[in-house]
Chains A and B, each alone.
Chain A
Amino acid sequence: MEKKTVTIIAAVVVVAIVVVAAVLVGFGGNGGDDSSGDSEIASQLQIRGNANDDYTIDDKDMEILEDVMAGERSISDYPLADVNNDGNVDETDKQLLQDLIDRKDGTTVYVLCLDVNGEPTTVSCTYPLRDVVPYGTNIQLPTLYANGGQYVAGYFVSSYETAESSISDSAVDLGGSQRQISDAAWKNFTALDANTEGGLGALLVDYSGIAQITDVRAADLEAAEIPMIIYSSADAISEITTVLTLGFLFGGDCETIGVEYAQKSWDIINQIDEAVGGLSDDDKCSYICCTMYIYICENDSTFNSSASTAGGLPYYAVNQDFADTYTGDGSTKMQSVEALSNFTDVGAILNNRSMDWGLDAAGIEDLVIDTWDHDNKGVSSTMYFKGFEDRLVYINNLLPGAVKVAYMAHAMYGDDFSREWADGVLQDFIDMGTAPLDGQTLDTILAYIDHDLYMEVTA
């Protein structure tokens, strides 16, 4: 064979390998660090100026704003083109948007969020957001997943030593609790504002804890001009939006990681949707969500929203007795070990439990046994779930929303989504470098407990 022919063949082989590799990396599910992945990021950045309702603020938004100014598009179709929320789109909005596109320090950002009554509102804060205080696990973890722990000046409660170490190691403990901000804790908050140069950047509140922001405290915030950014981000989809928005507000690497987090999350959600989203209700796996071991999540619970994102069919949709018994958006404690006895045809029981990580092998084993055999005032959880062992799983509630959704999908559609696949999703998020998972491995996180794992550790 001629030297020239060999060279051509070698070149063709190399090109073929590169093309195949590119296809595998680019379209191969969980692989790749590129944030411009396969799926569209369906989450919308909750910032005024994001005129096209996508996941970032860029020149495309400026084009829309200029069209609105020129009268070629209507402000009613693009309300976020009104960057400063004054009801008009003018040169001031244009200048503000340009500052946002340039990510200029000191720019006033108008953030879409909830007010104390749960209604949509806009609050302003300064870009980049610094010295924040989060209240509520459902906003604290998204803050950390956006790598915002470094910008947390104080916190009211930190229950998970490892997962929340990025704040508990450096920020001020204000001394509240999961369900209460005492007067003393609020006083510590005000002292922190006084002692922070330039004052606190914002109070980030999970809406479920809004009762703690009394009228007097809201008046304090208003008088001190501390913005209160409220989100309800317990379910997986809302959590992605919160991480994306907080990442943008923190700026720099946080914005990058927020977009990457959203991209990976939507990759997973879309992957699940493609596989099982088209199933008829008859073919879908029905589920009941539980929390705190023996509390059944009510119909409108956010745990159910996440499980539905994972392709499941809520059991209340197929059983009227269940639907009538568990109305509401909270959870109801099982009144007896027979509470589930009328619902034996359910496909899966997804039990959500928050479990800190940084565990060794012995710690994992102890936690598996403690969870599965948990003593509920003298009655083991195994009694409540007798007959459901093969359908019962515990999923770690501290994990990123998309990871929880992946494990839920595995629990309901094990043939489509293997355990290795779900573990791969978790590994992807670990590799992303988001602070709560920093330094962890699949062996230090107890993400998922099923009967097989329980039998394995108790053998």
Chain B
Amino acid sequence: MEYEEEGLTRDGLKEEYHHAIARKIILLTVCVLGIVLFVGLLSLSNYEGVGLKETYEIIWNHILGNEYPSKSLFWWADRYIWNTAFPHALAAIIAGAALAICGTMMQSMMVNPLADPYSTGISSGACFGAICAIVVGVSFSSVTGEMGIVTNAFIGAMVPALLIVFLAQRIHMTPATLILLGTAISYFFNSMITYLMVTTDADTLQSAYMWQVGSLDGMSWDSLPIMAVVTVIGSAIVMLLSSKLNVMSLGENSAISLGVDVERFRLLCLVLMAVMTAAIVSFTGIIGFIGLVAPHMVRLVIGSDNRFVAPISMAAGALLLLAADYIAFQFSDIPVGVVMSVIGSPVFFLIILWQTRKAGAIY
């Protein structure tokens, strides 16, 4: 009766509820279908004579253990699909999903629409670690080459995270303090990075810069287990915490009044986000905008309930990165990080304009 007094009938509410559910299902379906489409496109492209039907045939034959004549087009296509395209596409899906869910968590936890997984200086720390390995040849592990860089980047990423966690236990940490600390840490690491990069030779500079920009090139099956395990476990925890994230996004005071131990919860989120982001960027380099844009895109369609935003953001992030990767692949030498920035900035701009017209909070 009260609803009817407010102009909302029971049927109207039901209809609105069904619309909301439908929007979520449709968005998730679109993202999943998009992922399937782009995985297919990444597997197919450029082998003349190997179309969609043949690609499925190759995959099926591979599963059955049937082999093609050595060095034939189908033989190469089989090797390409299993050794390059699939790990490449899976890396894009995992990285996109992980960065997107971290972005969702950060924006809700910080109550800040501009927060993303890199806001606490993790990317700068990872970059510094990687560039130490590339430019100076200093590695935290005895392993050299690609895995040496990965180890360095991971440890470098954990330095700002641990610093913030350490400080959080000693001072009262508001979202603004966190962002400011992250900015200060970023400036520090960026200055060190700049120093290392201006004093090195052109070839090393190129390698360092390529890492900094972010790329999925050269991803192999060996790269995936760590990324996948950390992402799956981390995402499961974030989804379990999503109700609390909803409360956090109402603001610190509201969260406290609703019984949330804000500081402890924030600390938990920070550690979770740091480990997940570090596990991704240490393999891919710094791929920007996913963590910022994907959650906003999803909220635009389905609203701000993190129980749904978190998983659907993962699908949207995976789709976004796969699409960017496909575009990068078409242009051969453009790193995916560059394409992501080219796509991400105007998309973010449009989201802001759209949201402003609709006049609502964007987190």
Contacts and interface: CB of A to CB of B under 8 A. Distances in A.
Interface in B185-227: 198-204, 206-207, 210, 217-218, 220, 222
Interface stretch (B29-37, B77-85, B302-310): B77-85
Contacts of B218: 183, 214, 216
B199 A190 contact: no
27 contacts: A175-B332, A176-B333, A180-B210, A183-B84, A183-B88, A183-B218, A183-B329, A184-B46, A184-B330, A186-B84, A187-B47, A187-B80, A190-B79, A193-B71, A193-B76, A194-B75, A199-B71, A215-B220, A220-B83, A223-B79, A292-B202, A295-B201, A298-B201, A330-B201, A331-B201, A331-B202, A333-B202
Interface string A223-239: 11100000000000000
Contacts of B142: none
A216 B207 contact: no
Contacts of A220: 79, 83
Contacts of A182: 217, 332-333
Contact of A216 (B76, B83, B201, B332): B83
Interface string B72-116: 110110011001100010000000000000000000000000000
A330 B136 CA distance: 12
A332 B200 contact: yes
B333 A177 contact: yes
A333 B70 contact: no
Contact of B198 (A177, A186, A330, A333): A333
B72 A194 contact: yes
B84 A180 contact: no
- Give the top 8 A-B pairs by smallest Cβ distance, nearest first: A330-B201, A194-B73, A190-B76, A175-B332, A331-B201, A184-B332, A194-B76, A199-B71
Contact of A179 (B70, B88, B198, B203): B203
Interface of B: 46-48, 70-73, 75-76, 79-80, 83-84, 88, 145-146, 198-204, 206-207, 210, 217-218, 220, 222, 329-330, 332-333
A220 B83 CA distance: 9
Given A191-B48, A214-B220, 11 more contacts: A179-B206, A180-B217, A180-B333, A182-B333, A185-B333, A187-B47, A188-B46, A194-B73, A215-B220, A331-B201, A333-B201
Interface of A: 175-177, 179-180, 182-188, 190-191, 193-195, 199, 208, 211, 214-216, 219-220, 223-225, 292, 295, 298, 330-333, 335
B329 A332 contact: no
Nearest to B137: A328
A208 B217 contact: no
Interface centre among B46, B201, B203 (most CB of A within 10 A): B201
B84 A216 contact: yes
A193 B199 CA distance: 41
A436 to B, nearest CB: 23
Contacts of A224: 70-71, 76
Contacts of B83: 216, 219-220
A214 B220 CA distance: 10
Contacts of A175: 332-333
Nearest to B50: A191
A223 B83 CA distance: 12
Nearest to B210: A180
Contacts of A190: 76, 79-80
A182 B145 CA distance: 18
Contacts of A332: 199-201
Contacts of B79: 190, 220, 223
B219 to A, nearest CB: 8
A191 B73 contact: yes
Contacts of A191: 46-48, 73, 76
B197 to A, nearest CB: 10
Nearest to B48: A191
Contacts of A225: 70-71
Contacts of B145: 211
Nearest to B201: A330
B225 to A, nearest CB: 16
Contact of B329 (A179, A184, A216, A219): A184
Interface centre among B47, B79, B84, B145 (most CB of A within 10 A): B84
A133 to B, nearest CB: 14
A190 B48 CA distance: 12
A111 to B, nearest CB: 21
Nearest to B42: A183
B202 A335 contact: no
B330 to A, nearest CB: 8
A295 B199 CA distance: 10
Nearest to B84: A183
B71 A194 contact: yes
Contacts of A177: 333
A197 to B, nearest CB: 11
Nearest to B73: A194
Contacts of A179: 203, 206-207, 210
Contact of A335 (B198, B203, B206, B207): B198
A183 B202 CA distance: 23
Nearest to A301: B201
A216 B220 CA distance: 7
Interface centre among A188, A214, A219, A225 (most CB of B within 10 A): A214
A195 B73 contact: yes
A426 to B, nearest CB: 27
Nearest to B74: A194
Contacts of A330: 200-201, 203-204
A195 B201 CA distance: 39
A175 B331 CA distance: 9
Contacts of A184: 46, 329-330, 332-333
Interface centre among B46, B48, B75, B202 (most CB of A within 10 A): B202
A24 B185 CA distance: 74
A190 B220 CA distance: 17
B332 A185 contact: yes
A337 B22 CA distance: 66
A215 B218 CA distance: 9
A183 B217 contact: yes
A190 to B, nearest CB: 4
A175 B72 CA distance: 21
A195 B198 CA distance: 44
B333 to A, nearest CB: 5
Contacts of B71: 193-194, 199, 224-225
B46 A187 contact: yes
Nearest to B220: A216
A295 B79 CA distance: 42
A220 B76 CA distance: 9
B321 to A, nearest CB: 15
B198 to A, nearest CB: 7
B267 to A, nearest CB: 39
Contacts of A183: 84, 88, 217-218, 329
Nearest to B146: A214
A293 B38 CA distance: 44
Interface centre among B146, B210, B333 (most CB of A within 10 A): B333
B149 to A, nearest CB: 11
Nearest to A292: B202
Contacts of A186: 84
